[in-house]
Amino acid sequence: MQLAVKETEPAVEAVSHRKMIEIDDLSLVFQTNDGPVHALSDINLTIRQGDFVSFIGPSGCGKTTLLRVIADLERQTAGSIKVDGTSPEDARKNRLYGYVFQAPALLPWRTIAKNCAVPMEISGQSAAHQTSQIDKYLTMVGLQDFHQKYPWQLSGGMQQRASIARALCIEPELMLMDEPFGALDEITRDHMNMELLKIWEQTKKTVVFVTHSIAEAVLLSTHIVVMSPRPGRITKVIESPLPKLKTLALRDTEAFHQLAAEIRAALADEHAID
């Protein structure tokens, strides 16, 4: 299956909002000892302000790499990308986005609260503002009693939640999240999903979200980008027909199952056990 995205208008689109991310014919090749790895190939994608876009696809299809290109952690080898109308580098320097990594990446020598403070310290926020933000978001992720603990005193899931709180504290325009809930159990994950939806609905921020879970992608997204490996490319972009205001109950609806089935089919198309 060849990607049919370029020919038509970019599929990810929401009415009357400005373009947040514009990717044109973007490719990225890693040079390694074993020869070049085509991590991303001919990516075309537009994400508008207020969208909630999920990347889904098998391991190694380039989801993380694409997110890193947006965050200016990696540079494309061909094609172009604009973030909020500027280069990714300028967007980063303007502190436009918050990034949640696949691993918690907490500093082991700082308490949870002090870890959350790092980005605010760096952008020079007042101490009072720092404390109130930390209180707010640590409570939101259910870690209100763990301010003074060190990362290694928490379970993996709790660490991951702390890292989400850290990204939320600076309330960025754009949230880039790389499988943020991979380490959580289903119930906590449901809870975190709903919290994330709440924040997104309230603030109308843009979210780019990487996940392995079809259910999660369906539950959260306005647009689902299905990717495929070797070389990493977009095989399909699905716009969600579900209402913007979502609840967990949605999961038992026909529309939900249908969308899930559509994604599963798109994934299975390209998938063979490696």
Ligand X SMILES: Nc1ncnc2c1ncn2[C@@H]1O[C@H](COP(=O)(O)OP(=O)(O)OP(=O)(O)O)[C@@H](O)[C@H]1O
Among 158, 168, 220, 234, binds a copy of itself (CB under 8 A): 158
Map the footprint of another protein across residues 184-213, applying CB under 8 A: none
Binding segment toward a copy of itself, per CB under 8 A, in 53-61, 80-88, 105-113, 198-206: 53-61
Among 132, 148, 155, 258, binds a copy of itself (CB under 8 A): 155
Return the HEC string of the chain: CCCCCCCCCCCCCCCCCCEEEEEEEEEEEEEECCEEEEEEEEEEEEEECCCEEEEECCCCCCHHHHHHHHCCCCCCCEEEEEECCECHHHHHHCCCEEEECCCCCCCCCCCHHHHHHHHHHHCCCCHHHHHHHHHHHHHHCCCHHHCCCCHHHCCHHHHHHHHHHHHHHCCCCEEEEECCCCCCCHHHHHHHHHHHHHHHHHHCCEEEEEECCHHHHHHHCCEEEEEECCCCEEEEEEECCCCCCCCHHHHHCHHHHHHHHHHHHHHHHHCCCC
Contact between 50 and ligand X by CB under 6 A: the answer reads: no
Chain residue whose CB lies nearest Mg ion: 64
Among 41, 46, 54, 64, binds Mg ion (CB under 5 A): 64
Contact between 37 and ligand X by CB under 6 A: the answer reads: yes
- The item of ligand X, another protein, Mg ion, none sharing an interface with residue 119, based on CB under 5 to 8 Å by kind, is another protein
Residues within the interface to Mg ion (CB under 5 A) = 64
What residue ranges bind ligand X (CB under 6 A)? 30, 32, 37, 39, 59-65, 155, 157, 185, 232
